Structure 1
């Protein structure tokens, strides 16, 4: 079974740990009192990568997911290089209605994607809507224009987050397989 390392990153209090718990089915009550993550929390679970392969065939494959739930606190920034090492994809999570969170997302993109050479197609943004009456998300910069952005209310609709995550895993898996194929072809030619 293919193993995928996924980093969950974003500003403090955005719902990263709640999302990680939902996706990993790690808690019967994933939404509880806020407890900030200290550095990083690693969750391992079996997930399903769904979507379509580059050849157009349906994709519905079991994968081992190693999810690194990263603290959004800048005081843990010195841990980020270790957290990022070997990552196949990045899930960004932020509070949808919070303008300062939206601005802060650029620094997370720079640290976790741009500096590490991760492609935008191996990223996804979850705009966590805390107020069920909120209709618009905080505007992200153009840096995120090529990254899928999903509005989700983790308190009321966790199923949509799981479905989108499965599609995301499919995209990440496709990218991993393409890199492996290129490496094999390169080895054969040399």
Structure 2
């Protein structure tokens, strides 16, 4: 049952440039555009993807809720906008390409958006998005495991959203 009186849940999608934040945002918002999958277009500032979630589990109860995914540019030149972007967040998805980035590349996003807002670690998801055809080795992935002092440690499962989106659309 959806509660119309509640504002949408604001979830930020953050990480370095060219890590696949927009592809993941489009995938989650069911806005897969097959024709633009192979081409890189950097996000300017922030882009908001709105959708209704039918499978959200909050405090062990399934609810329907409106979601705003804030697909944020990885370009640090937009840093002056970060306080406004950070305002009212309820969750963060940190995205990195393990072939190009390290755990340290996510630290700036963690410090600025998670640690400074006292966001519950249960509301943080780290996605290692493999962008190419090759599979990342376990050594590269394990480098992300202990970068942040988070209360809960989750397992890492590499995934290629761009490739899966094409398969789902066909």
Structure 1 residue ranges without an equivalent (≥5): 160-190
Partner of residue 65, structure 2: 63
Structure 2 distance, partners of 1:130, 1:79, is: 27
1:84 aligns with one of 83, 86, 90: 86
Aligned match for 1:35, one of 32, 41, 65: 41
- In 2, distance between residues paired with 1:65 and 1:98? 29
Distance (Å, rounded) in 2 between the aligned partners of 1:111 and 1:147? 20
The reply on whether 1:157 has 2:164 as its aligned counterpart is: yes
Post-superposition offset of 1:157: 2.8
SS in 2 for 1:152: coil
Residue 103 of structure 2 contacts residue 147 of structure 2 at CA under 8 Å; is this kept in 1? no
Deviations 1:121-159 (A, max 9, x none): 110011001233314344124306535444211122359
1:154-187 residue CA offsets vs partner (Å, 9 max, x unmatched): 122359xxxxxxxxxxxxxxxxxxxxxxxxxxxx
**Which residue matches 1:22?**
27
In the other structure, the counterpart of 1:8 is 13
The gaps in structure 2 that reach 5 residues or longer are none
Judging by fraction of residues, say which structure has more helix: 1
Q: Is the 8 A contact 2:98 2:136 kept in 1?
A: no
Contact preservation (8 Å) 1:42, 1:68: yes
Deviations 1:7-62 (A, max 9, x none): 000000000011101110123326231010111011111113345744xxxx4321
Name the TM-score, length of structure 1 as normaliser: 0.72
Q: Structure 2: how far apart are the matches of 1:144 and 1:152?
A: 24
- List structure 1 segments (4+ residues) > 4 angstroms apart after TM superposition: none
1:45 is matched with 51
How many pairs were matched up?
154
Quote the RMSD (CA, aligned, Å): 2.2
